Amino acid sequence: MERTRGGDLGMKEFNKNEDIITLAIESSCDETACAILKNGREVLSNIISTQIETHKKFGGVVPEVASRKHIENIDIVVQEALDESGLTFDDITHIAVTYGPGLVGALLVGLSYAKSLAFTLNKDLVGVNHIEGHLSANYIEHKDLKPPFITLIVSGGHTHLVEVKDYGVYEILGKTKDDASGEAFDKVARALGLGYPGGPIVDRLAKQGNPEAIDFPRACLHNEGYDFSFSGIKSSVLNYLNSMKMKNIEVVKEDVCASFQEAVVDVLSQKAIKACKDKGYKTITLSGGVAANSALREKMTKLCQIEGLDLKYPPMLLCTDNAAMIASAGYYRYINGRRDGMDLNAVPNLKINQG
């Protein structure tokens, strides 16, 4: 079977009047997940098995351990998703699966499982880009959301400002030149000895801190384009912590968290608003793990109100990795003719508009 996009090779006809049931699998990092959606927007089940407790003791995700855990969990997670939906494999129209970007070993577990399902059940296979999955989480929560709009995708591996021209049609306006925003949260948390994943802990501590206590840099804020850079602020935090240690002054972790978070949120929100205004759109969506950040949500809500823009973001559960978002993206790929063959491979550094 050949991999095909939009052609009729390996593609079964589907009845446009029938409901389309997507079973999706996600295993790109440290969550083994399976979800079943009806017509791309209605969640029938959404099962997530997280490995956070396992990786916590190493201070981050250990790729080899993640792959092994996916192998242990995937069967159970898929069965649970079916049970919760009340459906059987016969009811599934097609299988969607994340094939990149992500950890290659982790991706291969979900991909091999999805291929086996598609092959044995004789269902169509649709490969999904994980970053496209993140932005599609908004289609589930906001039933009226339709392209075009501007989206800010902020996660542990990615920071992208994207113009969504249509379903599956993207123009990248800006992205990070170095660390992803979530990565910066995780690294700062590690330097403060706060544990993994750092984002939610920094978010919580920041609530008791003063965001103006330390003036961390806001890289790229006044640059022409929409690119970001977060390695400078991470280094600034590390330098600050070192200098305080040398001077024997105790660090107020809450203030460091609040000031760091404020600087990151300032840049993300101002760039996103600028892109939306420059491009003449009325809607901005947020997605990815960092979209769960309370300061980002608050600042974006405030700025969007001032500018008369419509802001949408997914509920917490759909911000971090899950398979419901993969099912939604997979559904739109499916109805637009995307089909993949048994030769679909994992692509660890897959770009958003690359496949």
Contact residues for ligand KG4 (CB under 6 A)? 29, 155-157, 182, 185-186, 197-200, 203, 288-290, 292-293, 320-321
Phi/psi-derived region of residue 6, left when phi > 0, alpha when psi is between -120 and 50, beta in every other case? left
Say which amino acid occupies 213: A
Tell me which stretch binds Zn ion (CB under 5 A): 3-11, 111-119, 147-155, 263-271. 147-155
If contact means CB under 5 to 8 A according to the sort of partner, which of Zn ion, ligand KG4, none does residue 290 touch?
A: ligand KG4
Containing 16, the helix (H) or strand (E) segment is none
N-term to C-term CA, the chain:
18
Give the nearer residue to Zn ion in terms of CB position, either 85 or 136: 136
Give the nearer residue to Zn ion in terms of CB position, either 128 or 189: 128
CB of 326 to ligand KG4, least distance (A): 11
If contact means CB under 5 to 8 A according to the sort of partner, which of ligand KG4, Zn ion, none does residue 153 touch?
A: none
**CA dist., res. 114 & res. 128, Å (int):** 12
Give the nearer residue to ligand KG4 in terms of CB position, either 100 or 117: 100
Residues 6+ apart with CB under 8 A from 90: none
Closest among 339, 326, 344, 336 to 131, alpha carbons compared:
326
Tell me which stretch binds Zn ion (CB under 5 A): 66-74, 87-95, 114-122, 149-157. 149-157
Interface map 249-288 toward Zn ion (x if CB under 5 A): ----------------------------------------
If contact means CB under 5 to 8 A according to the sort of partner, which of Zn ion, ligand KG4, none does residue 179 touch?
A: none
Tell me the number of residues near Zn ion by CB under 5 A: 2
CA dihedral 305, 329, 156, 203 (to 10 degrees): 40
The only residue of 155, 159, 181, 261 in contact with Zn ion, by rule CB under 5 A? 155
The only residue of 31, 179, 186, 321 in contact with Zn ion, by rule CB under 5 A? 321
CB of 249 to ligand KG4, least distance (A): 27
Residue 45, judged by CB atoms within 10 A of its CB (0-12, 13-18, 19+), counts as: buried
Give the nearer residue to Zn ion in terms of CB position, either 154 or 300: 154
If contact means CB under 5 to 8 A according to the sort of partner, which of Zn ion, ligand KG4, none does residue 259 touch?
A: none
Are residues 237 and 246 in contact, defined by beta-carbon separation less than 8 angstroms?
no
Are residues 24 and 311 in contact, defined by beta-carbon separation less than 8 angstroms?
no
Q: Are strands 94-100 and 42-50 parallel, antiparallel or unpaired?
A: unpaired
If contact means CB under 5 to 8 A according to the sort of partner, which of ligand KG4, Zn ion, none does residue 132 touch?
A: none
Q: Does 129 bind Zn ion (CB under 5 A)?
A: no
What separation in angstroms does the CA of 297 have from each of 174, 225, 279, 314, 316?
A: 20, 23, 22, 11, 11
**CA dist., res. 155 & res. 152, Å (int):** 10
If contact means CB under 5 to 8 A according to the sort of partner, which of Zn ion, ligand KG4, none does residue 199 touch?
A: ligand KG4
Give the nearer residue to Zn ion in terms of CB position, either 154 or 205: 154
CB of 180 to Zn ion, least distance (A): 10
Q: Would you give the distance in Å from CA 201 to the centre of its chain? A: 19
- Site residues (vs Zn ion, CB under 5 A): 155, 321
